Chains A and B, each alone.
Chain A
């Protein structure tokens, strides 16, 4: 009797805990499984490619890491000024109607799947503008993908500044440029930096849009200009993963995946850490 009573009393809680169990254990399981598969494959031989042949493995992974980082940096360098400009325009010159339009458009842009940006880039940059499959095309596409994220983050950062501060700066006779440099920038930079780091993490983890616009399977080690294709960690994992017959190749894919996750987490966890510090700072 006691048992049934307890069961009746706690059935909702029990059921909820039961349903939520996967979410509580899956992050650990996934991460441990990836590391378990990937860490053994990471050694000097696979990184440098010495003494390995076939499947584009003979070049090691440094070229691919370099390609991924180049694409990430290029995308962020292109997108950051545009995002900052739009956010400043939003706060300085846009009226209510324009602000609402910009906001809606940003959300709409965010809802277009990344692969569609890839198709757009393939049609416009690769073929119509004759950039070919190149680093530059990939950078522009990734920049377009992370732009809404960066703008929304910058708007969030500027919105957190109290109206009193802006108004007292205005009443002291500061012009737009002084207001931006002396009042907004010192207050908003931690949040801006967080957004930029998240943008970097995002640019590193996108694979589909650059698969057919910026990367090749192998043959390029160090691109000599932005008009050449690159090899990246993301696409390399994709090609290696499908070599089902060769266990060694698949294990190297896991190694590359571990490297990629380490890079992405480096950026996104730093961003989350910064955000937490910033929040504490604001509360205290």
Chain B
């Protein structure tokens, strides 16, 4: 009893210390890189660690494209699935879909990588007549599959939470099914659905293994910039591919830590954005 309060304080302060340690050591580890290369590397287009060229832009653009493709596919599909399962079909089919989505969400990312590498890449190679199929499109597609359950489940919960009085008021006004959906249900559920989308964005940003296996890990700018059918690189796949060969203490190691710091900052800002919007709503 006497030990409970100090014990809990100790645990809490230990966790707080750990939380502070993550950004501190990331900054410390990447400091040599920022000092030697400067902030302008963010817009550099060449990444050749052995010639001390550390342009970050190709990987940033790669990450952006992969996330955009994934969201472009997963948002309509996920939200439509949520609408169909909560509003149209029987509850047993709805719970079967929910079960399927939960299973899909539980599959480890490395297994998605395996599916991407040995099922998706040959398909892409055949249908677009590519050299190997390794491309940002493949990364985007596999990410779409990975974030689909997240968006679907969050949207299903959001639609279910719209109160039945709202629903009944809409019906008693004689609204058509479409009007009820677009004027009552979706606007009510939108804040939670948006939360789900932002969560999915964060997940897609940080996903490493699956992306690493299908993206091709070729560090150069897409030519032209809209070309998503070439092998490319994302921030996470760069870290995963190169951290094993970067010697501790070298500028290369420090540069990869800087990539990690960048990832953490982007993830944190997505989360902060979601947080402030939810608090306001």
Closest B residue by C-beta to A123: B29
Q: Is the CB of A208 within 8 A of B267?
A: no
Which residues of A are found within 8 Å of B21, using beta-carbon distances? 120, 124
User: Which of B88, B109, B264 meets A116, CB within 8 Å?
Assistant: B264
**Does A109 sit at the interface, judged by CB under 8 A?**
yes
Cα distance, A132 to B130, chains bound together (Å)? 42
Of residues 242 through 265 on chain A, the ones whose CB sits less than 8 Å from some CB of chain B are 242, 250, 253-254, 257, 260-261, 264-265
**Does A30 sit at the interface, judged by CB under 8 A?**
yes
**Does B187 sit at the interface, judged by CB under 8 A?**
no
Q: Is the CB of A144 within 8 A of B111?
A: no
**Does B76 sit at the interface, judged by CB under 8 A?**
yes
Cβ of A222 to closest chain B Cβ, rounded Å: 23
Residue interface bits B222-251, CB-to-A below 8 A is 1, else 0: 000000000000001001100110001000
Which residues of A are found within 8 Å of B206, using beta-carbon distances? 112-116
Which residues of A are found within 8 Å of B25, using beta-carbon distances? 120, 123-124, 128
Which residues of A are found within 8 Å of B145, using beta-carbon distances? 26, 30
Q: Is the CB of A85 within 8 A of B8?
A: yes
Q: Is the CB of B19 within 8 A of A105?
A: yes
Closest A residue by C-beta to B239: A115
**Does B108 sit at the interface, judged by CB under 8 A?**
yes
Residue interface bits B69-86, CB-to-A below 8 A is 1, else 0: 000000011101101110
Which residues of A are found within 8 Å of B11, using beta-carbon distances? 81-82, 85-86, 89
**Does A139 sit at the interface, judged by CB under 8 A?**
no
Cα distance, A124 to B76, chains bound together (Å)? 42
Which residues of B are found within 8 Å of A81, using beta-carbon distances? 11
Of residues 107 through 133 on chain B, the ones whose CB sits less than 8 Å from some CB of chain A are 107-111, 113-115, 117-119
Q: Is the CB of B108 within 8 A of A234?
A: yes
Cβ of B154 to closest chain A Cβ, rounded Å: 13
Q: A27-B100, A28-B100 are in contact. Are A261 and B107 (CB under 8 A)?
A: yes
**Does B280 sit at the interface, judged by CB under 8 A?**
no
Of residues 160 through 206 on chain B, the ones whose CB sits less than 8 Å from some CB of chain A are 177-178, 181, 202, 205-206
Which residues of B are found within 8 Å of A261, using beta-carbon distances? 106-108, 111
- When A and B form their complex, what is the total count of cross-chain residue pairs whose Cβ atoms lie within 8 Å? 223
Most central of B15, B102, B110, B117 by chain A CB within 10 Å: B110
Closest B residue by C-beta to A11: B178
Q: Is the CB of B115 within 8 A of A33?
A: yes
Which residues of A are found within 8 Å of B114, using beta-carbon distances? 34, 237, 241, 253-254, 257
Size of interface on B: residues with Cβ below 8 Å to A = 77
Q: Is the CB of A208 within 8 A of B209?
A: yes
Closest B residue by C-beta to A176: B4
**Does A16 sit at the interface, judged by CB under 8 A?**
yes
Cα distance, A81 to B260, chains bound together (Å)? 28
**Does A111 sit at the interface, judged by CB under 8 A?**
yes
Cα distance, A17 to B268, chains bound together (Å)? 35
Of A58-66, A155-163, A199-207, the one with at least 4 CB within 8 A of chain B:
A199-207
Cβ of B165 to closest chain A Cβ, rounded Å: 20
* A to B CB contacts below 8 Å, 20 in the list: A12-B178, A17-B88, A20-B83, A23-B97, A23-B148, A28-B100, A81-B11, A88-B8, A89-B12, A110-B271, A111-B270, A112-B206, A112-B268, A115-B206, A116-B263, A122-B243, A123-B29, A124-B25, A208-B209, A261-B108
Query: Which residues of A pack against B, CB within 8 Å?
Result: 12-13, 16-17, 19-20, 22-24, 26-28, 30-31, 33-34, 37, 81-82, 85-86, 88-89, 92-93, 104-105, 107-117, 119-120, 122-124, 127-128, 144, 147, 175-177, 180, 201, 204-208, 211-212, 234, 237-238, 241-242, 250, 253-254, 257, 260-261, 264-265, 268-269, 272
Query: Which residues of B pack against A, CB within 8 Å?
Result: 1, 4-5, 7-9, 11-12, 14-16, 18-19, 21-22, 25-26, 29, 76-78, 80-81, 83-85, 88, 97, 100-104, 106-111, 113-115, 117-119, 145, 148, 152, 177-178, 181, 202, 205-209, 212-213, 236, 239-240, 243-244, 248, 256-257, 260-261, 263-264, 267-268, 270-272, 275
